[in-house]
Structure 1
């Protein structure tokens, strides 16, 4: 390769590096807030089971793991709804999203549809063993953007779809441009060393 060809090649590579640096910088500046939210919420979600009941409550243990001794699902549902309205806050919606039965522990976790309150109820006695505000669900909704859909009543999760698409594509762009910003100068140095040798 002649010196003029090498200079042309280096100039082309330098131009590509400048473009990648600009894309990398602009993408980072534009999406800084999103990346900050995703990284902090992701860290918290990673630590939720090791947070000592702060983010996600430990599963309590009921009196019996034998379903033959348990109250009916209907009874447990009524207990949870009554406890919510009588002991927590009568203005909260009693609509239940799901019941998470832990047979080995003899409990059921009751999660409500319209707020983050949840209970762990002994399946045998019907006693409410633990009450919590499910911060892990709130953090997850922040992490994936669905909290915006919920806040504005958007049913199809369009913000979540746009948010995850933009942040996912941006991370892909960051990976590609970041790699080239690291690798490109190495290629240029290697070519320069070949010409000088």
Structure 2
């Protein structure tokens, strides 16, 4: 049995890398497609004309001394949610985002893709929005499955991002070697 030459070893490594690259590409094509499309949409969300990310409204005053209390604004947002979106008994605010410079408070709700913008001074409803950007983000990072299955610790997101991160690393490595390997073989 003869000892393979250096060139034959390099060619064998290239064939292995090509097979790994091709197989992983075929298996994960749909996931990479989803990540790429959702990534493009997320990149363009501020330039979507308010479709993906709703325009932030402007309130009466940016002076916090003129504003109603956050507790009162919170109660108004929950009331608006019940009256205009869903009459559920248990509505939890996930996040209150104070935009002092705009004079508003944005409310987002747990287990919902709805948002409400209230004037900080008057408490007046400025906008009810569908938070499409949040939905696209959950598609992009895999947490949409955690949302639908109501998992507590984001297991789907963790598994999904780990698989996709490792796959991207392997694609990068094998892709580089498929480009560089033949150049190296020619040089030798």
Residue 99 of structure 2 aligns with which residue? 102
Residue 176 of structure 1 aligns with which residue? 173
Q: Could you tell me the TM-score, scaled by structure 1's length?
A: 0.91
**For residues 155 and 13 of structure 1, what CA distance do their matches in structure 2 show?**
48
Of 47, 58, 61 in structure 2, the residue corresponding to residue 61 of structure 1 is: 58
Residue 15 of structure 2 aligns with which residue? 18
Q: Could you tell me the TM-score, scaled by structure 2's length?
A: 0.95
Q: Could you tell me how far 1:89 is from its partner in structure 2?
A: 2.7
CA contact (8 A) 1:62 1:105 kept: yes
**For residues 122 and 17 of structure 1, what CA distance do their matches in structure 2 show?**
62
Does the C-alpha gap of structure 1 residues 120 and 92 become closer, same or farther in structure 2, counting only changes over 3 Å? farther
Q: What's the CA shift string for 1:166-191, capped at 9, x where partnerless? A: 00010000000000101111111122
**For residues 159 and 121 of structure 1, what CA distance do their matches in structure 2 show?**
34
Residue 183 of structure 2 aligns with which residue? 186
**Cα-Cα RMSD:** 1.6
Residue segments in structure 2 that go unaligned for 5+ positions in a row: none
CA contact (8 A) 2:111 2:147 kept: no
**For residues 158 and 91 of structure 2, what CA distance do their matches in structure 1 show?**
29
Q: What's the CA shift string for 1:45-81, capped at 9, x where partnerless? A: 1111111101001211100001111111111111111
What is the correspondence of 1:138-157 to structure 2 with a 5 Å cutoff?
138-157=135-154
Residue segments in structure 1 that go unaligned for 5+ positions in a row: 192-197
CA contact (8 A) 1:92 1:115 kept: no
